[in-house]
Amino acid sequence: MLNDASSPLSLLATRRSGKPRDLVGPGPDGAAIDRMLAIAARTPDHGKLAPWRFVVVADAQRQRLAGLLADIWAADHPDAPAHELEAARQFATQAPALVVTLSAPVAGSPIPIWEQELSAGAATMNLLHAAHAMGYAAGWLTGWPAFSPPVRDLFGDETQRIVGFVFIGTPGRPLDERPRPDMAAIVSRWTPPAEA
């Protein structure tokens, strides 16, 4: 039985999302991000399709992304007040590191699209686990940018969808433990139907 604080089960049991706005430096360097992504790619993938993509937004490009998000918001909301444009800019500059994950299903494959999309979600979750295992915290955000075609086009094409923006850094304060589901409400034991 594993009960050591550094055990894999302990890591799984203690992972929490960090609010991107509360994540500070130090963040992972390029080699650490590459290692996280290699771990993220070790996800269930029926058909060996790799139906996901990871786009690392380099620190030097974060301000450019911030400006593009504000431009896209302004184009969609011509009367947007200044605070909304600033919120769009700030979205891109949270936390020291940013990885955008995309669902990239392989069209024409016998593997259902739904399974491929689930694999993309699993890859994103693996990225969060990898960040935690390496001593960082991560936050997975969607929000309006994840559902905006012009934002999607900054990272992929019309055949893809943004799964999330994964912000990675060091917690600037202790991470909050959020309420977890009542296990009795979400777990049941299957009983076969009565025989006729």
| Confidence (pLDDT) at 3 | 41
| Confidence (pLDDT) at 157 | 97
Q: Do 148 and 72 contact (CB within 8 A), yes or no?
A: yes
Query: DSSP readout, 11-51?
Result: HHHH--BPPGGGEES----HHHHHHHHHHHT-S--TTS---
Q: Does this model's pTM top 0.75?
A: yes
| Confidence (pLDDT) at 82 | 97
Structure tokens at 194: 């009565």
| Confidence (pLDDT) at 13 | 87
Element (H, E) at 95: none
CATH architecture of the domain 16-60+95-172 equals 3-Layer(aba) Sandwich (3.40)
User: Along the 196 residues of the chain, how does pLDDT read in single tens digits?
Assistant: 334 556 888 888 889 999 999 999 999 999 999 999 999 999 999 999 999 999 999 999 999 999 999 999 999 999 999 999 999 999 999 999 999 999 999 999 999 999 999 999 999 999 999 999 999 999 999 999 999 999 999 999 999 999 999 999 999 998 888 899 999 999 999 999 998 7
Q: Do 107 and 47 contact (CB within 8 A), yes or no?
A: no
| Confidence (pLDDT) at 84 | 97
| Confidence (pLDDT) at 6 | 62
Residue spans of the domains in the chain: they are 16-60+95-172
